[in-house]
Amino acid sequence: MRNGPLPRRLRGPQARGQPGLDRPAAGANRPQERRSRGQERPALQGAGPHHQQARPAAARQEGALTAKQPPRRRETPPAAAGSRGAAAVPDSRSVSELVLPLFPLPDLVHFPGTPLPLHIFQPRYRQLVAELLARPEQERRIGMILVARDADSGVSELLEPGCAGRLVAHQPLADGRSNIVLLGEFRFAVERELSGRPWRQAVVRPLSEQVPLLEAERADELGREITALAAAVARLSEGRFPLDSAELGGAGRPGGLMELVNRLAARLDLPALRKQTLLADEPLARAGEIAGILRSRLRLLDSLDPFRHLAARSEAN
């Protein structure tokens, strides 16, 4: 079981109108605020094998044990000297403000370094994609963030941190819809929300994915352990593991550990709140949690191994 402080939650007002319909922000002269009206609708639908769907907490043994724990918020300053690991994030100290359009979704958590295919169908998000495509490639960012709704109060909350993804592929469709791919770049904390656009937007602060050099030895140990555990789980899963052998390599090179950890966090079958807890962890803590999940699954698969011949016999009959 995990213990930690409650996550910072950005609360919205009481949901109004028909459930599931989102409401664009009102006019541009409205003051800056954290709140936006209405229940957020899953504005995007996944398109492709990497789209993550939240499973009930009981779907997996380790998920059932950990999904009830609140996501922890881990704030880390932007990448600095004396660290190694993931690609550098924008330094919020070198710019006045970093503003991101937000896509709040109730069942999806994005991780740095991972691709996220999405299907765009609502008019306001079609407009957003068109605006992003007109920008330089390095500025085509969208902030993916998990949203939770209180069933009793109808209040929707953004669960931090989110993940900024850069638009790297766009496939227009005949009816105006489109398929896009975001590549996760960095985690972020929301400083404040802004009004004036049909979609939610916020001033954000980037959070680092760097592993301190003082922790390099521990990072190397975790890299070797996670690679071995993932290979063992993949072998016993008989083709049902979400990563192939090529994706399990490279943990020993600079940045390779967190690339592997984030791929596993994104694609393992875990509830959305469990994934949010992993995203909130600092890099090495996240790596340790992934190692624990893999150890749990390996023990379960080992315990089932003596009965595999029964399953094979049943299929033969």
Is this structure's pTM higher than 0.75?
no
- Reduced to 3 states, what is the DSSP secondary structure of residue 229? helix
Mean pLDDT by 10 residues, the chain (317 residues): 52 38 36 40 41 36 40 38 50 67 96 97 96 97 93 83 98 94 98 95 95 90 94 88 83 85 96 97 97 95 73 51
Tokens read off for 238 = 């008989």
Distance of CA 13 to the CA centre of its chain: 25
Q: How many CA atoms lie within 13 A of 77 on its CB side?
A: 7
pLDDT value, residue 156: 81
Paired strand residues for 212: 83
Residues forming a β-bridge with 207:
187
If one counts every other C-beta atom within 10 angstroms of the C-beta of residue 82, the result is 9
3 state SS of 305: helix
The answer to whether the beta carbons of residues 202 and 141 sit under 8 Å apart is no
Are 184 and 112 contacting, i.e. CB atoms less than 8 angstroms apart? yes
Beta-strand runs (E) in the chain: 9-14, 44-46, 83-85, 98-105, 115-120, 141-149, 155-172, 178-194, 201-207, 210-212
3-state SS record for 78-116: CCCCCEEECCCCCCCCCCCCEEEEEEEECCCCCCCCCEE
Distance CA 260, CA 100 (A): 26
d(CA 15, CA 44): 20
Per DSSP bridges, beta strands 155-172 and 210-212 are: unpaired
- Among residues 195, 87, 64, 199, which one has the least CA distance to residue 145? 199
Q: What angle do CA 268, 244, 44 make, to 5 degrees?
A: 45
Query: How many CB atoms within 10 Å of residue 52?
Result: 22
- The rounded distance, in Å, linking the Cα atoms of 189 and 315 is 50
User: 148 has which bridge partners?
Assistant: 157
Q: How far apart are CA 104 and CA 36, in angstroms?
A: 12
Q: Helix, strand, or coil here: 25?
A: coil
Query: Which residue in this structure is represented by tokens 């997996």?
Result: 60
- What integer pLDDT is reported at residue 9 of this predicted model? 61
Query: What letter does residue 34 receive in the DSSP assignment?
Result: S
